[in-house]
Amino acid sequence: MISKSNTNNSPIRTLLSVPNFRFLWLSGSFDNICRWGDALILALLVFDISGSAFNVASIFVLRWVPMLLMAPISGFLSDNLNRKYLMMATRGCSVVISIIILLLLISNSIEVWHLQVLSFGLGLCYTMDFASRRTSIHDVAKSENMSTAMSLEIITNTFGKIAGPLFAGSLIATVGYSGAMILVLIFYSISLIFIALLRFEYTITKIHITDIKKSVITGFKAGFGNKMILGVFVGSIIYNGLAFSSEGIYPVIAEEHLNAGPFLTGLLISALGAGTLVGALVLTTIGNIRYQGRLFITGIFIQLLSALLFSLSDLYLLSYFCLFLGGLGNSLFSSMQTSIIVIEADLKHRGSVLGTLGQCIGICSMGGLIVGFWSNHFGVTNAVGINGTLGITLLALLFVLSPLSRNPVRTNN
């Protein structure tokens, strides 16, 4: 809870004065470093083993398939179980998977299918954490502070997008894949410790299988019955299916098209995080934003445009700028996405609606599969360019048909 004595402080100080928010924020920082770091490690490792862009894309696809298939279950569990224990379970499983990858590397017995299965496992951990973490943020921040809270949340994700690829690329280049995975293991463990320090009180209910089906239906009805939330769903499908899905083959473009080694590849991928960090820092100074839908759509457009420009670039520095620009767009999109959902959705349905949002995010797994297919037939740069062009076209329709750009978010929820 946020006390009245903190209402005269800046939005950031008000939130960071709450111990539970600090623990969530710090846990998210370490978790996101690992998530973006091990994503690059697995992608480069698969490319080294197989030399196949499609296999690299499959790692991305399998990482996000759980979000597409099981996000509603995540939302249901978030509404009905102790969210602290759910988050502890996901962090603990991530630790176990990291140990398995490390042992396979040390024994020199790792194969592509190992990494595909383990990538699916890491994706499942993230999916089960998704609704619990975001609902917990609202529990401690409340609606009036959600714009700032989600901007700080984006900063943690952004810091991970910068630090994760940087440390992964640097360690791979200097001490190899095993050294990089050791740091991933350590950071996942620290993230677990911070979650264990949370002090939440939840009303636990007895779960029946039929309740899960009802929760899924409720999430769809509550979401599709609100035009603002529906607009977020559609925008999220466009973003994840056509923009975020392309990021899975960015390391291939860096190595094949720009002739970058592991370190320069990590530095290039971190540009997305650097741009997101700058955008998120600016958003934290603004405070409450009423017309969040406008920033949401603008963020998607910037990300799609940057992907299109990146596909046309032959220069490393220009490519870095394109991804930095994409990061700026990502900060607008990501901050407003969850904020609009938790403000517009009724309290008792938030977890279910977030579960449905998770399915929209999981569309990136299908987008990644298509990008991998196109890469094999048209080349990796052309695949990214096709996605960017198609995404901008669909976004124009969303801008015209959705109330996101015209209506403010509610202020009384």
Region 379-397 average pLDDT: 92
Task: Inform me whether the pLDDT recorded for 210 exceeds 90.
Answer: no
pLDDT class for 4, splitting at 50, 70, 90? very low
Region 241-268 average pLDDT: 90
Shortest CA distance to 129 belongs to which of 160, 84, 163, 187? 84
Q: Above pLDDT 70, what percent of the chain?
A: 89
Given this model, what pLDDT does residue 267 score?
93
Task: Quote the strand ranges of 196-353, DSSP E.
Answer: none
* Separation CA 66–CA 117 (nearest Å): 12
Most confident of 11-20, 104-113, 367-376: 104-113
* Separation CA 107–CA 96 (nearest Å): 17
* 161-197 pLDDT, tens digit each: 889 999 999 999 999 999 999 999 999 999 999 998 9
pLDDT class for 255, splitting at 50, 70, 90? confident
Given this model, what pLDDT does residue 121 score?
95
Given this model, what pLDDT does residue 207 score?
56
Task: Inform me whether the pLDDT recorded for 223 exceeds 80.
Answer: no
Given this model, what pLDDT does residue 143 score?
56
Most confident of 147-151, 287-291, 348-352, 360-364: 360-364
* Separation CA 398–CA 404 (nearest Å): 9
* Separation CA 359–CA 357 (nearest Å): 5
* Separation CA 248–CA 32 (nearest Å): 16
Task: Inform me whether the pLDDT recorded for 128 exceeds 80.
Answer: yes
Task: Inform me whether the pLDDT recorded for 5 exceeds 50.
Answer: no
* Separation CA 214–CA 101 (nearest Å): 37
Please, what is the average pLDDT of the chain?
A: 84
* 34-44 pLDDT, tens digit each: 999 999 999 99
Given this model, what pLDDT does residue 205 score?
54
Region 207-217 average pLDDT: 66
Which two tokens mark 386?
A: 């096709």
Q: Higher confidence at residue 75 or residue 400?
A: 400
Q: Which of 129-133, 215-219, 360-364, 366-370 has the lowest mean pLDDT?
A: 215-219
pLDDT class for 211, splitting at 50, 70, 90? low
Most confident of 12-26, 206-220, 355-369: 355-369
pLDDT class for 95, splitting at 50, 70, 90? very high
Given this model, what pLDDT does residue 324 score?
96
Region 311-321 average pLDDT: 94
Residue 292 neighbours by CB under 8 Å, 6+ apart: 147, 336, 339, 340, 408, 409
Q: What is the DSSP string of 76-127?
A: HHHHHS-HHHHHHHHHHHHHHHHHHHHHHHHTT---HHHHHHHHHHHHHHHH
Given this model, what pLDDT does residue 1 score?
46
- CA-based Rg of the chain, rounded to a whole angstrom? 20
Given this model, what pLDDT does residue 9 score?
62
Q: Above pLDDT 90, what percent of the chain?
A: 42
Which residue segments constitute the domains of the chain, with CATH numbers given?
A: 17-199+210-405 (1.20.1250.20)
Confirm if 177 and 41 have CB atoms less than 8 A apart.
yes
What's the DSSP call for residue 224?
H
Confirm if 122 and 59 have CB atoms less than 8 A apart.
no
Given this model, what pLDDT does residue 261 score?
86
